[in-house]
């Protein structure tokens, strides 16, 4: 149930704002799917939240890069391989924002759960 919702986010964004571009939309959908999958797998692993966030980010970006390389080399896609590095550079602010906010949100939610019990 959660994966379709994660995948709908980029589709809604594309429909409303035109971002990400139509060429990059499938790759972003794959990346976000891996974020959700990785976060779910790491949910009960005893690691600091920031480490889980970084692992999910690396996994998502790695799979996205692999999908881009596959599309270029196997299917002859018009996506440029340099897009991989460009997306990392332009996404650094968003990555840093996730490093700052996600651990705080998780901490807050976990404290709410403890107080409810």
Model confidence at 1, pLDDT cuts 50, 70, 90, reads low
Question: Could you tell me which of 61, 50, 60 has the C-alpha nearest to residue 86?
Answer: 61
What pLDDT, on a 0 to 100 scale, did the predictor assign at position 46?
Answer: 95
Task: Return the structure tokens found at 104.
Answer: 């705080």
What pLDDT, on a 0 to 100 scale, did the predictor assign at position 38?
Answer: 95
pLDDT in tens, 24-54: 888 888 998 899 899 999 999 999 999 999 9
What pLDDT, on a 0 to 100 scale, did the predictor assign at position 72?
Answer: 85
Torsion of CA 79, 72, 35, 46, to 10 degrees: -130
């Amino acid at each position: 149930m959660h994966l379709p919702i994660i995948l709908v986010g980029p589709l809604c964004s594309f429909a409303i704002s035109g971002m990400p571009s139509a060429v990059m939309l499938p790759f972003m959908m794959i990346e976000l799917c891996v974020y959700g999958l990785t976060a779910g797998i790491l949910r009960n692993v005893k690691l600091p939240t920031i480490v889980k966030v970084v692992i999910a980010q690396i996994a998502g970006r790695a799979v996205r890069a692999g999908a881009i390389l596959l599309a270029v080399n196997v299917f002859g896609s018009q996506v440029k391989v340099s897009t991989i590095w460009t997306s990392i550079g332009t996404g650094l602010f968003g990555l840093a924002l996730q490093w700052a906010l996600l651990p705080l949100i998780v901490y807050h939610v976990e404290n709410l759960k403890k107080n409810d019990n």
